Structure 1
Amino acid sequence: MPATGPAAPPTTRPGLSLWHRFLRSLHRRAPAPAPAGVPREEQARALLAVLEEAVAAQRPADAAVAACGAPEGACGQAAQDCSRAGSRFVRLRARLWDLPLTDPGLADVRARAGRLLAYDQWMLCQALNLAFTVHPDARTEAARLQLNGLGRPADDLRRLRDSLQARDRRPDRPHLRGHAGGPA
């Protein structure tokens, strides 16, 4: 018979299910197999569209992480912004892994982008943990004050997107110019 009363260990801790969901979201899903005959150009356009959206999602996420490190302390709006940004990154990573890519180079770009988006999710979680800790102390506060955004991995994702754009806008690929809203 399980122990009851005040001495019984809790079966769940607050936030534990959120942590488990976060860890499950990081689990790699097997990429979707590409239908036969999908041209590389279409695969590249689909990947580039997801990367464009991911880069656009980084601006509010960066601001949310910076708000968690504000000297005057984080507010409830920062928590909501982090939550929204984290949800958006989860959906983007799902879309990324659902892309049917057959080209090995594009599959490598997808894997790298997936790792960078996972970092963004992790950073949002850590910012929330530091800003809204249950046991504040001097070390936690010092770490919180160091938060100023997503950091270098966000820049890496932008560079990855830019390199894919540049690679697919080469002169030997004129049919890809002007896609994804970029200049022709």
Structure 2
Amino acid sequence: MRTGTVPDTPTPRAARWLGVVRPFLRPLVRPHRRPAPVGPSRAHQLRALVAVLDEAVAAQRPADEAVAACGEPGPPAHGAARCGVQSITLHRLRARLQDLRTTDPDLMTAQAHAARLLAYDLWMLRASMNLAFTARPVDRTEAARVRLNGLGRPADDLRRLRDTLRAELSEA
């Protein structure tokens, strides 16, 4: 090597050293950064939330009929036996609702409110099944069972929430 010139290739000893060290230096020198994932837009999140709420409202009519069938006087009717199927349907819808990845604060509030309303529907189905198919019917449980007439106000609240979100979706 002459003075004032740059060697084209490193010396054999340096080449071996660079061959060993280079794989470890490369990640430090040039980190491979992946871009941050872009979340779904507010409109997309709203559409997904409204779709699940549409299915939940559609599933409420059979659930309401099943709860009302549990409250009919006399032995439990065939309609009361459908409570289990309706409970499974509402449970799956509630799980889908909770699995939505909403990031907008307003939509997160609406999603949590809808999940609470569906939890009430599930509780009402379970309570009506317990009252209708009790092992030892007594006058007090029979009186409570006869007062069952449907899901009640929380079902209406879920419909109103769905209608509000649907109106917001049509405006966007």
Tell me the TM-score normalised to structure 2 length: 0.76
1:86-125 alignment runs, 5 A limit: 86-125=87-126
1:54-93 alignment runs, 5 A limit: 54-79=56-81, 81-93=82-94
| SS of residue paired to 1:169 | helix
Match of 1:50 in 2: 52
Structure with higher helix content: 2
| SS of residue paired to 2:135 | coil
Match of 1:161 in 2: 162
Match of 1:16 in 2: none
| SS of residue paired to 2:75 | coil
TM-aligned CA deviation for residue 76 of structure 1 = 4.3
| Amino acid across the alignment from 1:154 | A
Cα pair 2:80 2:132 within 8 Å, conserved: no
Q: Percent identity?
A: 61
| SS of residue paired to 1:105 | helix
| SS of residue paired to 2:61 | helix
Structure 2, unpaired ranges of 5+: 1-36
Match of 1:131 in 2: 132
TM-aligned CA deviation for residue 77 of structure 1 = 4.3
Runs of 4+ in 1 over 2 A off after TM superposition: none
1:1-16 alignment runs, 5 A limit: none
Q: Deviations over 1:67-106 (max 9, x none)?
A: 0001233124422x10010000110011001111111111
TM-aligned CA deviation for residue 37 of structure 1 = 3.4
Whose Rg is larger? 2
Structure 1, unpaired ranges of 5+: 1-34, 174-184
